[in-house]
């Protein structure tokens, strides 16, 4: 069973991650239902889904059923409340995580970290670029945001330590995924290839640093 911990995220950092990783848009509509059973409809990447969420001994269990997009859009019109957000998936060490950038009903940025076991979730130490933890607060769940609106979230402080910590994550990911793979050759590698690789890495680093500086708070 997956264990999820949720944290607030500074909007500027969420914006930087979105620029680097992209993500995809999700729309959800929630319906009034008994406390032990919730129903909502989701449209994600052109696909519609009707989801029944039943409470069990642990976390709620979802039972999805695919719908034609037109049917899902028709159901959204009858929902009691809805949310519209961009989901951005990323890895943090051995943990899977995703960022939710809410646009509707109001702006809100959250990051959720998933662990396979409760002990693993408990041992997870949030990095400096995470905001306060809100796992135990139900007002930050998707259903609550859709039906009750954005909670009174505190402003997340943006520090140089947080920004540098996030840049380390993004740079390590970009280097491992974007560097070209060069086939081995019998002759010694020419120095020009190494210099070109170094120039490419330097260009990527400068782009990320420039973007980060543009998002840093101005000194008053």
User: What mean pLDDT comes out for the span 122-140?
Assistant: 94
Tell me the two tokens of residue 38.
């919730």
Rounded CA separation 99/7 (Å): 10
User: What mean pLDDT comes out for the span 192-204?
Assistant: 50
Task: Kindly report, residue by residue over 145-177, the tens digit of the pLDDT.
Answer: 999 999 988 899 889 999 999 998 888 754 333
- CATH number of 3-148, picked from 3.50.50.60, 3.40.190.10, 2.40.320.10, 1.25.40.340: 2.40.320.10
Is the separation of the CB atoms in 6 and 134 below 8 Å?
A: yes
Is the separation of the CB atoms in 48 and 69 below 8 Å?
A: yes
Give residue 188's pLDDT band: very low, low, confident or very high (50, 70, 90): very low
Q: Is the dihedral of CA 103, 33, 79, 97 positive or negative?
A: positive
Terminal C-alpha separation, the chain:
47
pLDDT at 59 over 80: no
Give residue 178's pLDDT band: very low, low, confident or very high (50, 70, 90): very low
The DSSP call for residue 141 is S
Cis peptide before 105 (omega within 30 of 0): yes
Q: Where are the beta strands (DSSP E) in 46-161?
A: 47-54, 61-67, 81-92, 95-104, 108-115
Residue-range domain boundaries for the chain: 3-148, 160-215
pLDDT of residue 32: 86
Rounded CA separation 163/151 (Å): 25
Average pLDDT, the chain: 81
Long-range contacts of 119-123 (CB under 8 A, 24+ apart): 120/3, 120/95, 121/3, 121/4, 121/5
Q: What is the pTM of this model?
A: 0.74
Rounded CA separation 70/24 (Å): 19
Phi and psi torsions of 191, nearest 5°:
-65, -25
Task: Kindly report, residue by residue over 78-130, the tens digit of the pLDDT.
Answer: 999 999 999 999 988 888 999 999 999 999 999 999 988 888 888 999 999 99
């Amino acid at each position: 069973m997956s264990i999820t911990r949720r944290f607030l995220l500074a909007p500027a950092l969420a914006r930087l991650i979105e620029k680097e990783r992209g993500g995809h848009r999700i729309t959800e509509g929630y319906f009034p239902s008994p406390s032990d059973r919730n129903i909502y409809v989701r449209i994600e990447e052109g696909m519609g889904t009707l989801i029944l969420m039943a409470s069990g001994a642990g976390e709620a269990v979802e039972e999805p059923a695919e719908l034609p997009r037109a049917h899902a859009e028709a159901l959204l019109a009858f929902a009691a409340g809805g949310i519209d957000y961009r989901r951005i998936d990323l890895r943090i060490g051995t943990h899977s995580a995703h960022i939710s950038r809410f646009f509707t009903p109001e702006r809100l940025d959250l990051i959720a970290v998933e662990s396979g076991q409760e002990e693993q979730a408990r041992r997870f130490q949030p990095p400096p670029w995470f905001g306060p933890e809100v796992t135990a607060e139900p007002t930050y769940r998707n259903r609550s945001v859709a039906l009750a609106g954005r909670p009174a979230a505190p402003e997340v402080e943006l520090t140089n330590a947080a920004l540098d910590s996030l840049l380390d994550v993004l740079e390590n990911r970009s280097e491992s995924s974007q560097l070209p793979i060069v086939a081995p050759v019998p002759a010694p590698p020419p120095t020009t290839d190494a210099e070109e690789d170094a120039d490419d890495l330097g260009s990527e680093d400068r782009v990320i640093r420039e973007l980060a500086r543009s998002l840093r708070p101005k000194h008053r």
